Amino acid sequence: MDSAQTRKDKIIGGLVSARRQVLEAVARLSPEQQDAVFLGEWSARDLVAHLIGWDYTNLEAVSEIRAGRRPGFWQYHDHDWVSYNARLVAQHRREDWGELVAAVEQSHRALIETLQSVPADDYVKQKKIGTLLRAEAKDEQEHARQVERFRTGGGG
């Protein structure tokens, strides 16, 4: 049986790895590809804005779970989170690529620093924390694959 600290480390490590994968994939895109729509109605710029929004959403959700509350973002649930994702993209999208990359690095750093400060036992006692964060890592790994397929001509 994994210790609480081992579980915590695996969850955080999974998030860090997934984010690295998606940002490396996006960084390999040409400037033209960064603005081309390839994922539904999203460009890479929109995808990065989406990541920023979910960093802040997850920061808030972990705090809510630890306080014994249902995460507030659930009030926006619809099919594939379309409406909520559109809201996040609109809120966090930036036209300047450098600003966008700096913003996603800052939002993820804030998330990881907060997760590091959460006691390891909370990852065991509050199983929803791990479930939420593993789902985020899985989503980002899928986005990395989608970006790479697009970059190499395989579609989104």
List, in order of start, the domains of the chain with CATH numbers.
Answer: 4-151 (1.20.120.450)
Q: Is 135 exposed, middle or buried (0-12, 13-18, 19+ CB in 10 A)?
A: exposed
- State pTM to two decimals: 0.94
Q: At what angle do helices 44-66 and 97-117 cross, to 10 degrees?
A: 20
- pLDDT tens figures, 57-106: 999 999 999 999 999 999 999 988 999 999 999 999 999 999 999 999 99
3-state DSSP call for residue 71?
coil
Residues paired with residue 39 on neighbouring β-strands, in sequence order: 42
Contacts of 118 (CB under 8 A, 6+ apart): 8, 62, 66, 129
How far, in Å, CA of 84 to CA of 90, rounded? 10
pLDDT digits (tens, 9 = 90+) for 28-60: 999 999 999 999 999 999 999 999 999 999 999
Rounded CA separation 43/65 (Å): 32
